Structure 1
Amino acid sequence: MSGKRSSGRSRSRGQAHTLEAFMAALLVVSGVLFALQATAVTPLTASTSNQHIETQHRTAAADVLATAAENGTLRPAVTFWNASEGAFVRTGSRGFYANGGPPNAFGTALNDTFGDLSTMDRRIAYNVIVRYRTAENGTRTQTMVYMGSPSDNAASATRTVTLADDTPLSGASGTVSSASFYAQDAAPNASFYNVMEVQLVVWQM
């Protein structure tokens, strides 16, 4: 009888050990699966977040340009040119604005929307590039604002501004056709002067 009892206890202990080993293996497998799932989800989550931020920046950039075009402040920003210095007003030898928007209504809108580098908690940078046509039907660019190289997740928006021969310079006396303006006359035999495409590129710092 005692032999049978010992055999029964041994069998029970063996079953208990087998069950414990199975549970331990199950926990290990579950942990591995959880880790793999976490690794798979993280890039997708980051990508979705970046895409959301990029969409917000594109919308904000388009809104700033649309508002400036509608309220008449975009054209004066394009012609905010110091003909004697051959640069945008108050940019000196650098020729472009680096710490914020230009000192005009368009620059105020940029700073109000995205901030400027004088604030310590700045997290958004932007560049403003003006593209125009040449008389040879090519294109050239003039940098208005430059804050660095855009990131891979940069967003952009564009808006066109038409200039006539008698469009005045907003930063100096004279017109675009009578002064040393950065964009040349794309239609010398017409009152039309040029079409300027303003591109605003925005990215998270």
Structure 2
Amino acid sequence: MIDEKCPFNVKFDTSAQLHTLEALMALMIVTGIIIFTVQATSLTPLTSSTANAHIEAQLQILAQDMLTVLDHSQSGHNSSLKEDILDWDGDEYAWNSIDYVSKNNNNLENSSTADLLESVIVSKGIAHNVQFAVINDARAVMTLDYIYNGEPSDNAVTVSRRVLLSNSDISNSSQFQYYTGIADADTNTDFYNLIDVEITLWRM
């Protein structure tokens, strides 16, 4: 029975059915586009941000492990890291594709830090800096370059380890301060200075 109040018969109106079909098709197309867009822009292990985060995490673990190895010491002996600080001549060294060389063309010798970096880091093509943060005469913190290979990139990671120096560790404190710039932070006690060794790693 046809409702006389209705201006048209919905049941037999083919144009209404076509409009409904077109609306369903349009909805399916829009839904498909949304799904495709989301899948195309979603983060995967190969995308830049995720890859960078993964690389940074690996570099941080690597730097921390190296400092742990260097700072390990047997009872009654200084660690290799501490010995490298005590043996430092104050020069700034850089890797020249063959060896660590200073601006005065001196090679960095008898350095466990340099040997470990060369065998682990250099072979992987990882850029690196090693710096010493110390307390100066004005009770302020200053940074000294031990190994410097350039300005780190935005994805660089820095890991630090503190090394305590005592007066008993240094045979000639005035000579040590003259060459390294590391002063005696407390002349009234056996405490000499606290060295914050920082290793910065980044991919080229």
The TM-score with structure 2 as length reference comes to 0.68
Q: Which position in structure 2 is the counterpart of 1:68?
A: 70
Q: How many Å separate the matches in 2 of 1:36 and 1:144?
A: 48
- Report deviation, 1:37: 3.1
SS at match of 1:74: helix
SS at match of 2:43: helix
Structure 1 residue 77 corresponds to structure 2 residue 81: no
Amino acid at match of 1:79: L
**Structure 1: 4+ residue segments shifted above 4 A:** 22-29
After superposition, the CA RMSD in angstroms is: 3.4
CA contact (8 A) 2:157 2:201 kept: yes
Deviations 1:15-44 (A, max 9, x none): 9xxx9xx98996797367424531343699
Gaps of 5+ in 2: 1-17, 74-78, 94-100
- The alpha-carbon distance between structure 1 residues 25 and 94, as it changes in their structure 2 partners (threshold 3 A), is farther
1:139-150 alignment, distance < 5 Å: 139-150=141-152
Q: How many Å separate the matches in 2 of 1:133 and 1:165?
A: 15
Q: Structure 2 residue aligned with 1:162, among 161, 164, 168?
A: 164
- The alpha-carbon distance between structure 1 residues 110 and 36, as it changes in their structure 2 partners (threshold 3 A), is same
Q: Which position in structure 2 is the counterpart of 1:46?
A: 48
- The alpha-carbon distance between structure 1 residues 88 and 145, as it changes in their structure 2 partners (threshold 3 A), is closer
- Report deviation, 1:176: 3.6
1:1-205 alignment, distance < 5 Å: 30=32, 33-41=35-43, 45-71=47-73, 72-82=79-89, 86-87=90-91, 91-93=102-104, 102-103=108-109, 104-115=111-122, 122=125, 124-168=126-170, 175-179=172-176, 180-182=178-180, 183-205=182-204
- The alpha-carbon distance between structure 1 residues 203 and 136, as it changes in their structure 2 partners (threshold 3 A), is same
- Report deviation, 1:149: 1.5
Provide the identity percentage.
Answer: 30
CA contact (8 A) 1:167 1:176 kept: no
The TM-score with structure 1 as length reference comes to 0.68
Q: How many Å separate the matches in 2 of 1:88 and 1:40?
A: 45
- How many residues in Structure 1 have an aligned counterpart in Structure 2? 173
Gaps of 5+ in 1: 1-14, 169-173
Deviations 1:69-92 (A, max 9, x none): 11411012223333xxx5258524
- The alpha-carbon distance between structure 1 residues 40 and 148, as it changes in their structure 2 partners (threshold 3 A), is same
